[in-house]
Amino acid sequence: MSKLYIVPTPVGNLEDMTLRAIRILKEADLVLAEDTRTTSVLLKHYDIRARMESHHKFNEHEKVESVRQRILAGETVALVSDAGTPGISDPGFLLVRTCVEAGIEVETLPGATAFVPALVNSGFPCDRFCFEGFLPVKKGRQTKLQQLALEPRTMVFYESPFRLVKTLGQFAEVFGPERQASVSREISKLHDTTHRGTLRELFDYFSATPPKGEIVVVVKGSEA
């Protein structure tokens, strides 16, 4: 039966790929990839010879209708992002919604995503948390931070290495410099590291040691 599969891919170590994900990608009529160059490395590693097309934030609005028609015509399509689970701060939501509204079966495989290891590794409560992804770069950023100042749950953010120091400084200003946090970078890769401390300590550390790679910031919830 034709359907849309959402297939998580490794955020770092290629061994994090599941056996089921490999099988689904081998069986799919079409693999939609955020960046076909990145995905081709993964497919080659597992000897997956699927037909690929690009599907990213710049063309997803144009492609969703054609993808919907192909699935309705009997094709099985698998969507992957460069790393992690599609739809989590990556393209995917629009295609899933379109398929759901069309009555197409959508199946999301469990698998890699960056924020779960960072959350658990932080040492903060993870029975209840809020995932904020990337904060607005400009418009609405301060408003969002003020809204989160008294959030009691553990908060999870994605951030660019180029904006990390600025973000930590803003967190310290709004949440308080003594609020506990952790910064995880390059999860599941060779240089996987987690630094823990107060927001002031983390700001000072990364100001002196510019970070590289993908970053997840976890901030302890407010006790106020």
**Mean pLDDT value across residues 123-150:** 95
- Residue 116 φ then ψ, to 5°: -65, -50
The total of other beta-carbon atoms located within 10 Å of residue 28's CB is 23
Tokens of 111: 């698998």
Structure tokens at 100: 């759901």
In sequence order, the 6+-apart residues with CB closer than 8 A to the CB of 183 are 164, 168, 194, 195, 202, 206, 211, 215, 216, 217, 218
d(CA 212, CA 189): 12
- Coil, strand or helix at 133: strand
Q: Whole-angstrom Cα distance, residue 67 to residue 95?
A: 8
**Do 184 and 215 touch, CB atoms closer than 8 A?**
yes
Compute the distance between CA of residue 185 and CA of residue 38 in angstroms, rounded to an integer: 20
Beta bridge partners of 183: 195, 217
Q: Is the dihedral of CA 93, 96, 100, 102 positive or negative?
A: positive
Digit-coded pLDDT (tens) for 68-116? 999 999 999 999 999 999 999 888 999 999 999 999 999 999 999 999 9
Work out the percent of the chain whose per-residue pLDDT is above 90: 93
Q: Please give the average per-residue pLDDT across 7-16, as a whole number.
A: 95
Instruction: Provide the angle, in degrees to the nearest 10, between the axes of the packed helices 60-72 and 93-101.
Output: 40
pLDDT digits (tens, 9 = 90+) for 160-192: 999 999 999 999 999 999 999 999 999 999 889
> Is the pLDDT assigned to residue 1 strictly greater than 90?
no
Provide the whole-model pTM: 0.90
